[in-house]
Amino acid sequence: MSNPSLLILAGDGIGPEVMTEVRRVIDWYGDKRDLKFDVSEDLVGGAAYDKHGTPLTDETMAKAQAVDAVLLGAVGGPKYDNLDFSVKPERGLLRLRKEMDLFSNLRPAQCFDALADFSSLKRDVVAGLDIVIVRELTSGIYFGEPRGIFKEGNERVGINTQRYTESEIDRVARSAFELARKRGNKVCSMEKANVMESGILWREVVQKVHDEDYPDVELSHMYADAGAMQLCRWPKQFDVIVTDNLFGDLLSDAAAMLTGSLGMLPSASLGAPMANGRPKALYEPVHGSAPDIAGQGKANPIACILSFAMALRYSFDQGDEATRLENAVEKVLADGLRTADLIGEEGVQPVSTREMGDAILAALDESL
C-alpha cells in the first residue's frame, strides 16, 4: 500500500515559519513511528499570487482534491491589501474550502493547565476548558448571492447575502451531533432566530435532526450574541457549539483567547467521505499570517502542530499518535516554555519558533 498523501500549502507571513516545524514533526513520525506520508508542497495566497497572478491555481486546486489531506499555514498580508478582491490571498483559501466542500469546520478550544493563568479570564473560568466550535464553512454570508458593490442612485451599496438551505444546515448539524456523542454529548446551536429568517430555519432544522436521529444528545439553542457573552462568562457550560460561517468565525476567535493565544488554536475542515472512506479534509491553524511578527522567528507553531494532530486523528485513524503529539505539547508548556505570544509574567524569556519545535520533538522522543 502506498503512503497516505499530504499537500502542504504554507502560504504567507508566519505560515511558512510554523509549517517548517510541522514538517519536522511529520518527519519524526516517519522516522520514529514508521508512519510515513508522501508530502508535496505548493503555493497558496499571496505567495501564489506573486508567482502566478492568482491566489490558487487550477493545478493546485486539483492536487488538493486528489490528496488524503491538505495542511495549510496562513494566507494574507498588508502587501496584498490593495489587490482586486477577486485575487486577494484569502480568496485562495475560500476557494479550497468551497470546492472541496469542507462544510464542517471543527475549532477546538482547549485550555492547557499551564496556560490557565495566562488567559485574560480568571483561572477558574478557563482551567480544564475543552469545547469545540463546529463552524459551517461553505455557505452563509461568505458565499450567498447577490453580493457585490453596486451603484444605487448617486451612491454605492455593498451587499452580502446570508443564505442557508435545509440540507446545508442538516449536514453540519449531523456532524456536530456525531462529534458530541464522542465527547460530552451536548450541543448548543447558535443563530439569531430573533432577527434573521435564516436563523429561524437554522433552529428548526437543527431541532428536527436532533429529534429524529440524535434524541440522546442534549440540545440547546442560544442567540449568537448571548452565546458570545456566555462564552466569556462561563465557557465550561458548553461542549459542542454549532453555528454558521460568520458567527463561527467570530466566536472561534473569541474562544481562542480563553485558551491563552490565537497561536494555540488548531482546526480541521471536513467534507464528505472520499472513495477511500477518509473525509475530504484540510487542516489549518485558526490564526492568520500575523504580519506584525512575520519573519522574526517569534511565531507560536503550536496551533499548526496541533492541526497536524487533528489530521492524524480525523484523516489517518491515528488517535493514539494524535494524543502523543498533544501530550508532547502539553509537556513543553508545563515545563514553562513560552513563545512571545504566551508571555504574561515578567521575567520569563520567550523561546523562538524553532526552539518551541525542538522542545516538542524532544518531548516526542521522550514519549517512546
**Which are the catalytic amino acids?**
142, 192, 225, 249, 253
Amino acid at 321: E
| 49 appears as a binding residue in the annotation | no
Please calculate the CA angle 127-133-139 and round it to the nearest 5 degrees: 165
* Residues between 294 and 323 with contacts to ligand NAD, criterion CB under 6 A: 299-300, 303
Select from 22, 48, 56, 93 the one that contacts ligand IPM (CB under 6 A): 93
The mark string for 51-90 relative to ligand IPM (x by CB under 6 A, - otherwise) is -------------------------x-------------x
Identify the DSSP state of 299.
Answer: -
Q: Count of residues binding Mn ion (CB under 5 A)?
A: 1
Task: Assess contact for 295 and 116: CB atoms under 8 A.
Answer: no
The mark string for 329-348 relative to ligand NAD (x by CB under 6 A, - otherwise) is ------------x-------
| 78 appears as a binding residue in the annotation | yes
| 367 appears as a binding residue in the annotation | no
* Residues between 277 and 296 with contacts to ligand IPM, criterion CB under 6 A: 286, 288
Nearer residue to ligand IPM within complex by CB, 289 or 339: 289
Give the span between the Cα atoms of 11 and 288, in whole angstroms.
10
Nearest to 247 by CA among 109, 105, 360: 105
Nearest distance in Å: CB 140, ligand IPM: 11
- Interface stretch with Mn ion, choices 32-40, 117-125, 176-184, 241-249 (CB under 5 A): 241-249
Q: Is 99 in the site for ligand IPM (CB under 6 A)?
A: no
Nearer residue to ligand IPM within complex by CB, 141 or 196: 141
Q: Is 293 in the site for ligand NAD (CB under 6 A)?
A: yes
Nearest distance in Å: CB 247, ligand IPM: 12
- Maximum Cα interatomic distance, the chain, rounded to a whole number of Å: 70
Select from 21, 168, 191, 284 the one that contacts ligand NAD (CB under 6 A): 284
What is the SS3 string spanning 156-215? Answer: EEEEEECCCCHHHHHHHHHHHHHHHHCCCCEEEEEECCCCCHHHHHHHHHHHHHHHHHCC
| 88 appears as a binding residue in the annotation | yes
| 263 appears as a binding residue in the annotation | no
Q: Is 249 in the site for Mn ion (CB under 5 A)?
A: yes
Cis peptide before 146 (omega within 30 of 0): yes
Q: Is 126 in the site for ligand IPM (CB under 6 A)?
A: no
The mark string for 239-278 relative to ligand IPM (x by CB under 6 A, - otherwise) is ----------x-----------------------------
Look up residue 48 and give its three cell numbers. Answer: 501564489
| 291 appears as a binding residue in the annotation | yes
- Coil, strand, or helix at residue 149? strand
CB count within 10 Å of CB 294 equals 19
Sign of CA dihedral 63, 68, 246, 343: negative
Select from 19, 26, 75, 180 the one that contacts ligand NAD (CB under 6 A): 75
Give the span between the Cα atoms of 311 and 35, in whole angstroms.
13
Could you say which of ligand IPM, ligand NAD, Mn ion, none residue 94 binds, taking C-beta under 5 to 8 angstroms by partner kind? ligand IPM
β strands within the chain, DSSP E: 5-11, 38-42, 69-74, 104-110, 130-136, 144-152, 155-161, 186-191, 218-223, 240-243, 268-273, 279-283
Please calculate the CA angle 224-228-233 and round it to the nearest 5 degrees: 140
Binding site for ligand IPM (CB under 6 A): 76, 90, 93-94, 249, 286, 288
Binding site for ligand NAD (CB under 6 A): 14, 18, 74-77, 90, 93, 262-263, 284, 287-293, 299-300, 303, 341
